[in-house]
Structure 1
Amino acid sequence: MAKRKGKGPTPKAEDRHWHGKRQKARAVKSSRRTGTQTLGPGGRPKPAETGGDRTSGRPGPGRPAGARRATGEVPELVTGRNPVVEALRAGVPGTALYVTGGTDERIRESMQLAADRRIPLLETGKNELDRLTDNAVHQGIALQVKPYRYAHPDDLLTGRAPLIVAVDGITDPRNLGAIVRSAAAFGAAGVVIPERRAAGVTAGTWKSSAGTLATVPVAQATNLTRQLKAYQKAGCFVAGLDARGETAVADMDIASGPFVLVVGSEGKGMGRLVADTCDLLVTIPMPGTAESLNAGVAAGIALYEVSRLRSTAP
């Protein structure tokens, strides 16, 4: 079989046809922030590439400082008859099903689903299950979920025009799962989340992602602002979804190239430093009476528009 020819490395920012558009967008943004009406010189100074060694953790070429490759933590336990059976129905990757007995219909279904997927069934006593679940209300059943292995943010820079979703301030795992599901639907290379003070990949995330976490990688960044700057240095245009934006998502022709869409929380939105790092703030026009959208819903709408723009780009 003939080998497929690769698309080649991602071109530098200055070699891209939209580089001038980014400089103009930054200049407009800078003039609005300072209250001036004239356009200053385009672009903010780029930080030096600090990098990071993948094996030692020391700074080095090719790895932005502050980012790491996570390897997973302690396995999570989903407890309760309804949560367990729903997690199994959603395809959450379990590694063991603990059962104390009982003839409840949901327990029987959970045991059958586990058997179908070759998940080990472990019969245990109530006291032992109390200890394993830290005295949570388990109703005689618990599903152990294997730790999620996060990707590195650099791993998402695939192809000539990668589409990456970054989230800031999302603390509900179900919202994160919904965003991952939209990312899968509209061809994103992956999702980047902050390492701290943010939702991670849990059983709830797996459930709301409808299993798409198996195909869409989630990466962790120690410092999201620094990671966005690293993406900019790699040639990506970074747009933040914000109610204050003056450009509608549907009018964002810049999305045809390497692109990062930043989504904030429903209440507070993006943090100030993250918003200031974005090349452009974009919004979803809402003629109705709702003041804001759920973060997962907003991400889905924005990604649809980005996908449409990319499909019609010359």
Structure 2
Amino acid sequence: MAGNSQRRGAMRKAGTKKGAVKGTGGQKSKGLEGKGPTPKATARPGHPAARKATAAANRAETQRRQQKKAATAPETVAGRNPVVECLRAGVPATALYVALGIDTDERVVESVRLAGDRGISVLEVARGELDRITGGAMHQGLGLQVPPYEYAHPDELLDAAEQSGQQPLLVALDGVTDPRNLGAVIRSAAAFGAQGVLLPQRRSAGMTAVAWRTSAGTAARMPIAIATNLTRTLKEWAEQGLMIVGLDADADIVVDDLELATGPLIVVVGSEGRGLSRLVRETCDQTVSIPMSAGVESLNASVAAGVVLAEVARRRRIAGRV
């Protein structure tokens, strides 16, 4: 039959030829089109690199959610010494947890008394429940619940400084991650007449119970704000007429020659390890160092802040008497 026969000279039906087709080189036109560059391994579904990238993104998102939750959740201070120290320092608290059947000592008695005097709820709970509340920490039968700290807005710090009746003096921290250093800086700021403390949103200690305790209660009287972008906030304050002085161990000017002390001032303190970040250093109108004896590389951030703030307060007292 024509078109199906294998005989020599038989006719094939049109469109059924399996060989080369005229003008296509034997291939369909789409077969000649390129498919573009090969995607990166992380963009290929099912590729090991893509699976790793997806897992990393999921971990980062989980961590972000946990940090956000932790920032809005109350903190529980565990242990007899930390609890009684927080209560002595006037750290704001909402509840004191006492494990049932614990052996009482003077710290337990004092903690219960201080909590009662301040109107803080004293709750007796089972030891297992206190284990859960404190996250398995060594609580020794005591736990103190501290609510999240309510930060001010940077504009509120500037308003408080302008309404204080004194020359504005604000303290900004750049990369100070130890809450004990933060608490000590707040204490020094309050002692030497500063009107507020500014923290960056990232890479900084926050107002935890440890910071509260180290500040010896002065955090209750000192407004503390968080800047989304520290450099930008400092520039905005500079436009309002404040001068910016940064602590830098390599600065040629020593704190003894700080002529800017008597005017509107922002003192910026960097971390003990790396000091000021590049952008913050470039924003400063002046950087100063603290002269030290040979063999001492650097001071603790809170100690350095106290030295500079004390010099600022001294110069302002002298200027006030002139």
Name the TM-score class by shorter chain: 0.7 to 0.9
2:207 to 201, 209, 222: 201
Does residue 76 (structure 1) correspond to residue 75 (structure 2)? The answer is: yes
Does residue 216 (structure 1) correspond to residue 222 (structure 2)? The answer is: yes
Amino acid at match of 1:94: A
Q: Which residue of 1 aligns with 2:264?
A: 258
Q: CA deviation at 1:126?
A: 1.9
Amino acid at match of 1:265: S
Mapped partners of 1:250, 1:309: distance in 2: 10
- Spell out, residue by residue over 1:225-244, the C-alpha distance to the aligned partner (whole angstroms, 9 max, x if none): 11111111111100100101
Amino acid at match of 2:78: T
Q: Which residue of 1 aligns with 2:121?
A: 120
Does residue 187 (structure 1) correspond to residue 180 (structure 2)? The answer is: no
Mapped partners of 2:271, 2:260: distance in 1: 24
- Spell out, residue by residue over 1:248-300, the C-alpha distance to the aligned partner (whole angstroms, 9 max, x if none): 11211122111100001111111111111111111111134311111111100
Question: Any conservation in 2 of the 1:192–1:218 contact (CA below 8 Å)?
Answer: yes
Amino acid at match of 2:125: T
Mapped partners of 2:264, 2:114: distance in 1: 41
1:299 to 297, 300, 305: 305
Q: CA deviation at 1:204?
A: 0.8
Mapped partners of 1:201, 1:120: distance in 2: 22
Mapped partners of 1:134, 1:286: distance in 2: 43
Does residue 91 (structure 1) correspond to residue 97 (structure 2)? The answer is: no
Does residue 161 (structure 1) correspond to residue 167 (structure 2)? The answer is: yes
Amino acid at match of 1:278: C
Comparing 167-176 with 119-128, greater Cα deviation is found at 119-128
Q: Which residue of 1 aligns with 2:42?
A: none
- Spell out, residue by residue over 1:114-156, the C-alpha distance to the aligned partner (whole angstroms, 9 max, x if none): 1122211011112222222222222221000122111111112
TM-score, length-normalised on structure 2?
0.73
Does residue 278 (structure 1) correspond to residue 284 (structure 2)? The answer is: yes
Mapped partners of 1:130, 1:280: distance in 2: 51
Does residue 237 (structure 1) correspond to residue 238 (structure 2)? The answer is: no
Report the aligned-residue RMSD: 1.4
Q: CA deviation at 1:185?
A: 0.6
- Spell out, residue by residue over 1:40-70, the C-alpha distance to the aligned partner (whole angstroms, 9 max, x if none): xxxxxxxxxxxxxxxxxxxxxxxxxxxxxxx
Q: Which residue of 2 aligns with 1:138?
A: 139
TM-score, length-normalised on structure 1?
0.74
Q: CA deviation at 1:168?
A: 0.7
Q: CA deviation at 1:309?
A: 1.8
Equivalenced residues, count:
243
Mapped partners of 2:128, 2:306: distance in 1: 44
Q: Which has the higher contact order (CA 8 A, sep 6+)?
A: 1
Q: Which residue of 2 aligns with 1:311?
A: 317
Mapped partners of 1:103, 1:79: distance in 2: 16
Q: List runs of 5+ in structure 2 lacking aligned partners.
A: 1-70
Q: Which residue of 2 aligns with 1:27?
A: none
Question: Any conservation in 2 of the 1:156–1:162 contact (CA below 8 Å)?
Answer: no
